[in-house]
Amino acid sequence: MIHIEQSDFHDQLVRGLTHKMNNILSLFHGYLGLLIEDKKLDRVTLDGLSAIRKGADEASELMDRTKAFAKPSSTVWRQVKMVDFLRMMIPSLESFTERGITLEFHFEETLPELLVDAARLRTAVIEIVRNACEASPDGGVVEISAHAESHLPRPKPGTGNNNAAHPITWIVLTVSDQGAGIAPEIEKKIFQPFFSTKHKKNAMGLGLSVAQGLVQGLGGVIRFHSSAGKTTFRLLLPSQE
- 121-179 pLDDT, tens digit per residue, is 998 999 999 999 999 999 999 999 999 998 766 555 555 555 555 678 899 999 999 99
**Of 84-88, 100-104, 121-125, 200-204, minimum mean pLDDT range:** 200-204
**pLDDT at residue 67 above 70?**
no
Which of the pair, 179 or 193, is modelled with greater confidence? 179
Q: Which of 222, 211, 207, 239 is nearest to 116 (CA)?
A: 239
210 vs 222: CA distance, rounded Å: 11
Q: Which of 15, 2, 175, 173 is nearest to 82 (CA)?
A: 173
**pTM for this entry:** 0.71
Q: How confident is the model at residue 6 (pLDDT cuts 50, 70, 90)?
A: very low
163 vs 186: CA distance, rounded Å: 37
Q: Which of 145, 148, 159, 160 is nearest to 93 (CA)?
A: 145
**Of 30-44, 154-168, 174-188, minimum mean pLDDT range:** 154-168
Calculate ∠ Cα 71-75-79, nearest 5°: 135
Cβ-contact 220, 173 below 8 angstroms: no
How many residues are given for the chain? 241
Which of the pair, 236 or 20, is modelled with greater confidence? 236
pLDDT the model gives residue 4? 40
